[in-house]
Amino acid sequence: MNDINPAPAGVDSGISAEERQWAMFAHLSALAGGIVTAGWAGSIGCFIGPLVIWLMKKDTMPFVADQAREALNFNITVAIIFFALFVLTLVTLGIGVVLTLPIMILVGLAWLVFTIIAAIKANQGDRYRYPLTLRLVK
C-alpha cells in the first residue's frame, strides 16, 4: 500500500502562504463588513473590505487581486439584488414583503455560505468563482 501524503494546498501552484492568507481576508472582510455595518449601511459595507484589499494588493499579488476582485463582484451583485428587492417592496407599498422577505433571507444565507466556502478555498490556494455573479470589476 502506497501511503504518500500530498503536499499542502497551494504549494504546487506557487502561491505563498501570505498570498493565500490575504486572499482569505479579502473574502472574510466582506463578512466582517456586513456584520459591522448591518444596522446603518446594509450590504454596502460588504464590498468595502474586498475593495480596499484589491486596491492595496492588485499590483503586487496577482492571486490576492483575483480573489479580492471576485469577492468585490459577488458582493456588488448581492447588493444589487437586495436593492432590487427593497425597491420591489416599496413599489408594492409593503405588500410585496410577503415575497421579498423570504427571498432576502435565502440570498443572505447563500451569501454567508458562499463567502465561507470562498475563504476556505482561497486559503487552500484555489481560485474560487462565486456562482451567478456579475463580473463588473475587471
pLDDT tens figures, 85-128: 999 999 999 898 999 999 999 999 999 999 999 999 999 999 99
| Spatial distance between the Cα atoms of 65 and 58, rounded to a whole number of angstroms | 4
| Whether pLDDT at 137 is above 60 | yes
Sequence-distant (6+) residues with CB within 8 A of 36 are: 45
